[in-house]
Structure 1
Amino acid sequence: MVCKHCGYSPTDVDERCRLRSLGFEGRGLVNINKVLSRLEWQLSFRVATIAHEGVLLFSGDRNSDFIEISIQDRLLRAEFSLGDQPKIVRMENERKNRLNDGEWHTVNIVYYDRRLTLSLDDCDAFVALHAHGATPCAAQARIDLPAKCVDLSVPCFRFLDVYNGIFLGGRPALSGKIEQGFSGCIANLTLNDDLMDFSSLADMDVRGLVSEGCPHRQDFCARGACSNSAKCVNRWNGANCRCPHSAHHNGSCSAEPSSPHRRPLSLTDEESFVIYRPHGISVPFTLSFEFRTSKTDMQIIVAEFEQRSTFVRLE
């Protein structure tokens, strides 16, 4: 079945034109008016962003019971409390666990018996947590009760009691402000196999700026972003036009220079480098290049002129 007159972008809806994604710019949140069970629940959603920080989901009160799912330093993080001391769950700093690449990632959250489990994408959480040498695509933490709590007549913080709905896009403050607002997109939110329909966003509790759909993850290739000679790949807020020797080419691949300087290089050692000595260059000139790295602190390129005191360095 295809909905012919759907008012949303095809990338933001299902086959029945039900809106599945929302966009956030760090200045808005929405309460979807769903209540998490105090004993157990499963929740999943997709997220796409280039931000390093931001609260994705929040429910409860930080002075009492609460659950918070966020991105901190590019990694998925969760903090939850049953009313006493909070517990923190954090993904390991592995490249595949970093969420700020602009691609869609699936976040899976399971709460059961005071234990919170996080996992990403197609991760097998049980294998990741228990098998030696497995990919660290999951993390887990549990709140243990004092021995006295075995006696049910003794008052203890036993349950996750959050009743103010589920906030997406940030943490609401008593002042009405939004704390640690998220910039990016959230889609396909599912709570206990119930897939959320955002088509009635106008009737929801929206604070600040929240947009219908994800404007940064549209099908830009369908709009003719690249020439026929290039392979078009949808990315964050645009598309890559991939030719044999360049990835961000705006024209035809036939115009790609055959210079060996355009061939890709892999520098795998911290002490490795390559020197080019081009001839016939006059001022002014344009220097352009593409690079990809997982390092956070490094020197990338140095352009040195005849007068050694004049140079340009990019780190």
Structure 2
Amino acid sequence: FDREYRKQYEIPIVIKDSGNPPQTGTSTLTVTIGDVNDNIMQPGSKEVIVYNYQGQAPDTAIGRVFVNDLDDWDTSDKLFYWDEVENPRFKLDDSSGMVTMRRGAREGRYKLRFKIYDRKHAQESYANMSVTVKHISYEAIVNSGSIRLVGMTDEDFIRIWNYRTQNIFKSKLERFRDKLAELLNIDKKNVDVFSVQMKQKSPPITDVRFSARNAFFFKAVQLNGVVLLHKDEIEQTVGINITMVNIDECLAENADCNGSCTSIMEVQTNPSLVNANKTALVGVQIKSTAECMCSAREYKQQQTCKSHPCLNGGRCSDSKSGARCSCPPGYSGPRCQQTVRSFRGNGWAWYPALDMCDKSHISVDIITTKADGLIFYNGPIVPPDDSDEQQQSDFIALELEQGYPRFLIDYGSGTLELRIQTKNPLNDGDWHRIDIFWDAERVKMVVDHCKTAVISEADDGNLVEFVDHTCQAIGRVPQFNEFLNLNTPLQIGGVFREKFDYTYNRWQYMPMGVGFEGCIRNFKHNGILYDLSHPGLSKSTMPGCLYTQEVCDLNPQVAKCMEHGKCVGNYDEAKCECNPGWSGTYCSLPTTPTTFKTHSYVKYALSFEPDKFTTQIQLRFRTRETFGELFRISDQHMREYGIIELREAKLLFRYSLNSGQVEEHEVSLTAVEVDDGQWHVIKIQRYGSAAILELDGGEGANFNQSFSFDGHQWLSVDKQEGVYAGGKPEYTGVKTFDVQADYQKSCIDDIRLDGKSLPLPPATNGTQWGQATMAK
């Protein structure tokens, strides 16, 4: 045996038992050949690339000094020295030859030269090392793509030299960079492969992460999508076997979690070193793990400005209730998201895949006059590979077919189709809202909060009839898979292929895939609002809603309200909706807040009839108190009511709809405390027994809902005696009273009931919608 000829032998051993029939198994015995220092060394050189995350790497090993010596177990016979001048930014271990970059080394290219002495052969030689240090930013990591390679070690991926033949060749890393630059049509120097890490030694699995930029960084969804579309071509050109594009530890169902699963990517302090003779890569070390949680509903840690929550140039400020964003014009989401996008009928836009949660909810608003159109699709984007048994067939899709909503979902074991024959087709040029809920077994689709349901309620509160076939559909997902596992781009407004030509044997139904023409707004998944501003890849789509904006622009009154309001329009008409804290025809008048002192309240008499099925309440408030009632509506007997209150500094909406007896429901925000003295906006929407609670834009911990139509659906409001702000007085004597749940030492501003402004004394005692009949 000679180690210079072959370093390892793998010997398969077949083991057989004496059973009938006999059982056999194969085990591999790896024999490693030892080494003798019997070769003379020759001068060597080495190329090292260091990716220094945010320039903050500690003292970091960047690779051993390389001399051309076929003996690789003779380090103990060698001594390593600097040749003449030592570089102060690096240090050398004279016994191992390991070079360490000191903390604070600046970006640039460093030329290092060393002298090596072999004691056994009494021989001296020289080695050069070229070190390129690049800083890599947080933005590059966040926008990075990733691939998982099987059958290849990290050293094999960066290797440029064959020790047997002494040939130098282009590494697989460089060939991958070249191919990616070609596919993105950018200069190769703008592509960084900044992390190469072994995930598993036997059989070898290696994770590779990369970023690319032109004027801006390409988004991860585009990088991963482009690699997935050209996967076969990349594998052939580079000589690799890609087993996963967009590394997601949650993709295999029930592998790590039996329910919700979030793939977490954490940047580690110490870089990772891949050392391969004539080359070395010091990359960002990234820990990729599966955490058994639904990230959208994980509120243990309050969001701060350190996590860069504000998008699209928004300014961030920290408060007791969490990070708050001040947004540039045109970005109306709570984190400055672009909330609406136009599609021309032959386009599409790519966004990050839907996260895996055991209970999920998507809500989306649409407006169109076209009968057919795909609203969104998330699933495979390339035809199935017959050789890949692990390939995911899960998908989810929502579309309009002949004006009616059609929803498809597949967990990998069969497709469920839900359809709703709404009273009128949804392609009527008006906004419509579609909600979809799913868990391990059941799926539900609801259109326009079921406002078209036929409801019958008896006066005694006993008989309730709720006919919902025109607004709600419920179904069960085929067994046995339980979860929707996705890591491909979410495609909104259409799919990137002209014809929907990828399908699976297991798909009983498939989307038509016709492009959507119109606008898609407020795409929300598990309470998180998608930012529609910069898709990873797109065609024939633009931010904003062109179709309704044209109607807004043609209305001169609406144009005047845009500074402190927004245009709410459809294809035919437009109107102003003032921002919280502003009022008037053109939203030019600031509202006047009222301070509520101890035992203070306002009682209203309404001049309109509130809708029984639908309630909308919006108001601004600021407080440092932890208890108190902000606003209430109720019937004459206080059996039907809706009350917004503070309880232990947390917001709560409780309501009862049974005229015969109190049956209380409640929705609360348990993770946010609002006693911070800052202005907050609360919005309540009730549709029958379903209720939605939103604080400051309503995202994440600021959003909660109870969305089921059970039992009673109507809330009757006593227009003269049933509406109060700041608490409800209870008379204890002829001239004495006590205010229940007194909201005190605090402020309220801009109360709107069903979109209609109510007055707040002393500044205003009446509006066209109501009078303040009593104020203390």
TM over 0.5: yes
Do 1:13 and 1:21's aligned partners in 2 also have CA atoms closer than 8 Å? no
Q: Secondary structure of 1:108's match?
A: strand
**Structure 1 residues 60 and 190, CA gap change in structure 2 (3 angstroms):** same
Hey, what's the Cα distance between the residues in 2 that align with 1:4 and 1:112? Answer: 35
Hey, what's the Cα distance between the residues in 1 that align with 2:517 and 2:444? Answer: 24
Q: Secondary structure of 1:77's match?
A: strand
Q: Secondary structure of 1:94's match?
A: coil
Q: Secondary structure of 1:185's match?
A: strand
Q: Which residue of 2 aligns with 1:296?
A: none
User: CA offsets, 1:107-159, max 9 Å, x none?
Assistant: 1111112322110122289999xx755233111111242xxxxxxxxxx5343
Q: Which residue of 1 aligns with 2:396?
A: 67
User: CA offsets, 1:145-181, max 9 Å, x none?
Assistant: 2xxxxxxxxxx53432222132101134498999411
Structure number with the bigger relative contact order (C-alpha 8 A, sep ≥ 6) is 1
**Structure 1 residues 223 and 183, CA gap change in structure 2 (3 angstroms):** closer
Q: Which residue of 2 aligns with 1:162?
A: 486
Hey, what's the Cα distance between the residues in 2 that align with 1:101 and 1:29? Answer: 22
Hey, what's the Cα distance between the residues in 2 that align with 1:176 and 1:91? Answer: 23
Any residues of structure 2 matched to 1:3-82 within 5 Å, and which?
6=329, 8=330, 13-14=332-333, 18-37=337-356, 39-61=358-380, 64-82=393-411
**Structure 1 residues 223 and 117, CA gap change in structure 2 (3 angstroms):** same
User: CA offsets, 1:229-276, max 9 Å, x none?
Assistant: xxxx9541x549xxxxxxxxxxxxxxxxxxxxxxxxxxxxxxxxxxxx
Any residues of structure 2 matched to 1:202-241 within 5 Å, and which?
204-218=535-549, 220-221=551-552, 223-224=554-555, 234-236=569-571, 238-239=572-573
**Structure 1 residues 140 and 172, CA gap change in structure 2 (3 angstroms):** farther
Q: Which residue of 1 aligns with 2:439?
A: 112
**Structure 1 residues 223 and 127, CA gap change in structure 2 (3 angstroms):** closer
Hey, what's the Cα distance between the residues in 2 that align with 1:224 and 1:115? Answer: 45
Q: Secondary structure of 2:546's match?
A: coil
What is the CA distance between 1:209 and its match in structure 2? 1.2
Hey, what's the Cα distance between the residues in 2 that align with 1:174 and 1:157? Answer: 30
Hey, what's the Cα distance between the residues in 2 that align with 1:159 and 1:33? Answer: 18
What is the CA distance between 1:42 and its match in structure 2? 0.8
What is the CA distance between 1:225 and its match in structure 2? 6.3
Hey, what's the Cα distance between the residues in 1 that align with 2:374 and 2:519? Answer: 12
Hey, what's the Cα distance between the residues in 2 that align with 1:142 and 1:92? Answer: 19
Any residues of structure 2 matched to 1:1-315 within 5 Å, and which?
6=329, 8=330, 13-14=332-333, 18-37=337-356, 39-61=358-380, 64-95=393-424, 98-123=425-450, 132-135=465-468, 136-145=470-479, 156-173=480-497, 179-199=513-533, 201=534, 204-218=535-549, 220-221=551-552, 223-224=554-555, 234-236=569-571, 238-239=572-573
Hey, what's the Cα distance between the residues in 1 that align with 2:550 and 2:475? Answer: 38
What is the CA distance between 1:197 and its match in structure 2? 2.2
**Structure 1 residues 15 and 159, CA gap change in structure 2 (3 angstroms):** closer
What is the CA distance between 1:30 and its match in structure 2? 1.3
Do 1:31 and 1:206's aligned partners in 2 also have CA atoms closer than 8 Å? yes
Q: Secondary structure of 1:170's match?
A: coil
Hey, what's the Cα distance between the residues in 1 that align with 2:483 and 2:334? Answer: 39
Residue 41 of structure 1 aligns with an amino acid whose one-letter code is S
User: CA offsets, 1:281-308, max 9 Å, x none?
Assistant: xxxxxxxxxxxxxxxxxxxxxxxxxxxx
Kindly, what percent of the aligned residue pairs are identical? 23
What is the CA distance between 1:81 and its match in structure 2? 1.4
Q: Secondary structure of 1:184's match?
A: strand
Q: Secondary structure of 1:24's match?
A: strand
Do 1:125 and 1:138's aligned partners in 2 also have CA atoms closer than 8 Å? no
What is the CA distance between 1:28 and its match in structure 2? 1.4
Hey, what's the Cα distance between the residues in 1 that align with 2:525 and 2:438? Answer: 11
Do 1:70 and 1:78's aligned partners in 2 also have CA atoms closer than 8 Å? yes
Hey, what's the Cα distance between the residues in 2 that align with 1:222 and 1:41? Answer: 38
Q: Which residue of 2 aligns with 1:311?
A: none
**TM-score, structure 1 length as denominator?**
0.58
Residue 134 of structure 1 aligns with an amino acid whose one-letter code is V
What is the CA distance between 1:5 and its match in structure 2? 6.2
Residue 448 of structure 2 aligns with an amino acid whose one-letter code is D
Hey, what's the Cα distance between the residues in 1 that align with 2:484 and 2:333? Answer: 33
**Structure 1 residues 69 and 5, CA gap change in structure 2 (3 angstroms):** closer
Q: Secondary structure of 1:218's match?
A: helix
What is the CA distance between 1:46 and its match in structure 2? 0.7
Hey, what's the Cα distance between the residues in 2 that align with 1:53 and 1:80? Answer: 19
Hey, what's the Cα distance between the residues in 2 that align with 1:78 and 1:165? Answer: 18
- Structure label with greater radius of gyration: 2
Hey, what's the Cα distance between the residues in 2 that align with 1:37 and 1:188? Answer: 20
Unpaired runs of at least 5, structure 2 = 1-323, 385-392, 456-463, 502-511, 558-567, 575-776
What is the CA distance between 1:183 and its match in structure 2? 0.8
What is the CA distance between 1:73 and its match in structure 2? 1.0
Hey, what's the Cα distance between the residues in 2 that align with 1:175 and 1:50? Answer: 22
Hey, what's the Cα distance between the residues in 2 that align with 1:222 and 1:181? Answer: 26
Do 2:444 and 2:472's aligned partners in 1 also have CA atoms closer than 8 Å? yes
What is the CA distance between 1:218 and its match in structure 2? 2.2
Do 2:453 and 2:467's aligned partners in 1 also have CA atoms closer than 8 Å? no
Do 2:397 and 2:408's aligned partners in 1 also have CA atoms closer than 8 Å? yes
Q: How many residues align?
A: 215
Hey, what's the Cα distance between the residues in 2 that align with 1:158 and 1:127? Answer: 33
Residue 185 of structure 1 aligns with an amino acid whose one-letter code is C
Hey, what's the Cα distance between the residues in 1 that align with 2:553 and 2:379? Answer: 42
Do 1:28 and 1:206's aligned partners in 2 also have CA atoms closer than 8 Å? no
Q: Secondary structure of 2:547's match?
A: coil
Do 2:363 and 2:525's aligned partners in 1 also have CA atoms closer than 8 Å? yes
Hey, what's the Cα distance between the residues in 2 that align with 1:15 and 1:40? Answer: 23
Q: Which residue of 2 aligns with 1:271?
A: none
Q: Which has the higher strand share?
A: 2
Hey, what's the Cα distance between the residues in 2 that align with 1:71 and 1:17? Answer: 29
Unpaired runs of at least 5, structure 1 = 146-155, 227-232, 241-315
User: CA offsets, 1:166-210, max 9 Å, x none?
Assistant: 2101134498999411111111111111112223x1xx3223111
